[in-house]
Structure 1
Amino acid sequence: MTHQDATASALVAQRPSLAMRLVGTVLSRRARRKEGTPADLAADRRLLRRLASVVRAPRGVKLTEEVIAGVPVLRASSGARARGTVLYLHGGAYMAGSARDGVNAAHLSADGGPDLVSVEYRLAPEHPYPAALEDALAVYRELVRAPGPDRLVVVGESAGGGLALVLLQKAREEGLPMPAAVVPVFPWVDLSPSGANSAANAGRDMLVRSHLLEAAGWYAGGRDRRDPGLSPLFGTFRDFPRTYVPVGRYDLVLDDARQLVARMRAEDVPVVLDEWPGTIHGFLHVPSAERRQCRRRIRAFTHEALPAVTAEADAECP
């Protein structure tokens, strides 16, 4: 599958599904009610735990808990490890979520797909920056050693999408090779109070802007939020691999994604921006036609970036 910008253009004329319109209406109303109120960290963590607990792995995909470079991870595998590995970084504004959220992306591993390794990175405010980055980078160092960079794709959602980009910026600084591809899904790439996420979609999305900024403060821990270590939008994307950026048209971080892609293109990164009409932040977790279609595109992009499995490689797989 070859992604082109025409893909996004074709979507513009499509009417959002009924499921997406209903869920978007309910969650955007909730966000408007909560705007300006203090974030409830405990409640947010409980909610994400409940949501993650009901997601089941696809048929034929086995889940195992492991430790890589001292960092807990959850591995999803259908037994075709020679196909490669997806390093997955969950969302949750750096203050909620867990490796278990990676089960929602385990469709990438189904039917002989690559293993998916979901990282249990440390969370703010207990563990502010650079804890999450250190954990992700430790796992990345091991995965570029085996299975190797040409058999590795990095996928992250929301805060995990921003973390995926910071991870590759830091890896490049260390002289580590780039992966075959990166997929930042509705990525949060500007944590500054004046960031692009203050644009027109406030009140249309499920994200509460005031809560997002509060979480950014917890994660930053007093650092300048325009530091590229926190906001990869202000870093460089030189030598980045092919990149696919899906985002919703009603997403609070839509302008983050647009500015990210513009900066990548300015540095000659092969990148595709795929905007989904009528969809909110986190729409990959909403049972809908948009979810099914976008998951298929992420899977196709990911699998296309990885080399074909030869009989010899499959025989060598432990």
Structure 2
Amino acid sequence: MDDRTPSRRRVLFGAASAAAVGIGSLSGCVGNEEETDGDDDAEADDANLDDDDADADDADIVEIETREGEDGEPDFVFDPAITELESGTTVRWTNTDGVFHTVTSTDSLEARTESGEFNEALSAEGDTFEWTPEEDGIQHYYCEPHAGFMIGTLAVGDVDDAELEETEEIHENPEGADDDADDDTEDEDADDHDDDEEFVDMTGEDVVQIETRQGEDGEPDFVFDPAFVTVDEGTTIEWVNTDGVFHTVTSTDDIERRSGGGDEFNATISGEGATFEWEADESGRQPYYCSPHAGFMYGAIEIE
């Protein structure tokens, strides 16, 4: 959206209706030439009607864009983030930043787990997805690769004011009210984990496989297994999705900073059996993480 205002976070839309246009009959005596002109005018009127219908159709669509954050916003946002509209109005999401996003429905902005209403990828600039809510109520959604901060809400028709106010509070701080404290704890834990973790020695292997799986016995919800490995320079690392949950394999220069897209690699392994390969062709340590689960799902490759 070119015309952004401080109130862009929450926008109210109503369902538009097409205007009826009437065409009057020609009166008076006219010659053949004038009749021809009249036909031309009628054709022009018909063309205008077609344009009016197209404009009306466009007016019935609510536009929401993905874009990079600015002025203290998260890395990426839906714009507008909260949209009030009438049932029967079509919503169109458009990717304007060229980064891989999803539009994934959820019943809870706190949990951010897929509800099954919709889950569509906007993988490149210009990609769109449309959905039409048929009933009044609140419909939340989020972007899976950036679930920690990229969220949105449709307030359809008559909704509970208290629920809408609670939703606005979550949008003000999508990463949680105790974000700063949690970040400090996570950063300390991540730093200790990276330095003190016993790296699995997988030197001597041409290909090393790392799986994603659900956590067990006090582990986080999802983990890379093994998350920390030592390999030889030139080894191919293959990450394999074995749990069927949407994950990314995103590089970072510092394990403490786990947000945004990686400079070295940033791949999606979105379903069971999906893989990503990377060649460890330079000695050193390469930390990485899963963007949707950045708070706890990360690892590092030690390259000898």
Question: Could you tell me the TM-score, scaled by structure 1's length?
Answer: 0.21
Tell me which structure has the larger Cα radius of gyration.
Answer: 2
Which structure shows the bigger proportion of residues in helix conformation? 1
Q: Structure 1 or 2: larger strand share?
A: 2
For normalisation by structure 2, the TM-score amounts to 0.22
